[in-house]
Amino acid sequence: ILRGSEARPHLKPYMASLQLDGQHVCGGFLIAEQWVLSAAHCTEETDGKLFQVLLGAHSLTEPEPHKRLYQVRAQFPHNGSNVHNNKDDLLLLQLEEKAELNSDVQVLPFQRENRDVAVDTVCEVAGWGTIDHSGKRPDKLQQLQLPVISRDVCNHRTRHDGTITENMMCTDSRRKDTCKGDSGGPLVCDGVAEGVVTAGSRVCGNYKKPAIYTRIAPYAEWIDSVMASADG
């Protein structure tokens, strides 16, 4: 998160840190007791290894009352996701067991009605992604409020040039923006998860490259079917 601020500790109890060997790789969020939603691109450099999921955290390093690292039973990247574009960039992670819910660990509802969030709606994004252009990583969860911009503006020739589909949405990226390590986190508008951060052009903080999110509503049936099909 570039030019955001430290989140109020444990006020985003749905936030997850997807980790490999104790290192934060991507964001994610709890959509059910045993399920975390993130971005498929997060598995690109994991060499087939399963993530571990940190829940109940504010600081990545300090001991906290309800902080707990969960093993992952299975990971389900959307079949349409691929390394060449941002299409269907969603990843479902089934935890080895149901997360213990408490004041610091809670499920976040996601939007099921497939209708665009109104332009200029101010939504919120959070993550442990890089906080400056040198790639500095924060220890504590950062947050940012960002206005939704129209798909037409986002698709302009000088912006993302027609690559933003109706399954994606954009927020303004002038100065304040998402960045490396924020992928997979939720874009929350009026308390509901509307989108999942995708790396897109990988650029951070450049107003010519608005931040891109995978809209969740178009995938509600996919999410329900994966959760229903997996064991447990």
Judged by beta carbon, residue 98 or residue 202, the one nearer ligand E7E is: 202
The reply to whether 95 sits near ligand E7E by the rule CB under 6 A is no
Interaction with ligand E7E in 160-189: which residues (CB under 6 A)?
173, 177-180, 182-183
Tell me how crowded residue 221 is: count the other CB atoms within 10 A of its CB.
10
Judged by beta carbon, residue 56 or residue 200, the one nearer ligand E7E is: 200
The reply to whether 126 sits near ligand E7E by the rule CB under 6 A is no
Residues 6+ apart with CB under 8 A from 144: 1, 3, 4, 5, 124, 125, 126, 176, 177, 178
Active site residue 5: no
Return the ∠ at Cα 137 (arms to 34 and 125), rounded to 5°: 55
Judged by beta carbon, residue 105 or residue 117, the one nearer ligand E7E is: 117
Active site residue 150: no
The reply to whether 200 sits near ligand E7E by the rule CB under 6 A is yes
Active site residue 132: no
In what helix (H) or strand (E) does residue 225 lie, and over which residues does it extend?
Answer: helix 220-229
Question: Which of the stretches 49-57, 91-99, 152-160, 197-205 binds ligand E7E when contact is defined by CB under 6 A?
Answer: 197-205
Over its C-alpha atoms, the chain yields an Rg (Å, rounded) of 16
Beta bridge partners of 29: 15, 37
For binding to ligand E7E (CB under 6 A), which residues are involved?
A: 44, 173, 177-180, 182-183, 197, 199-200, 202, 204, 211
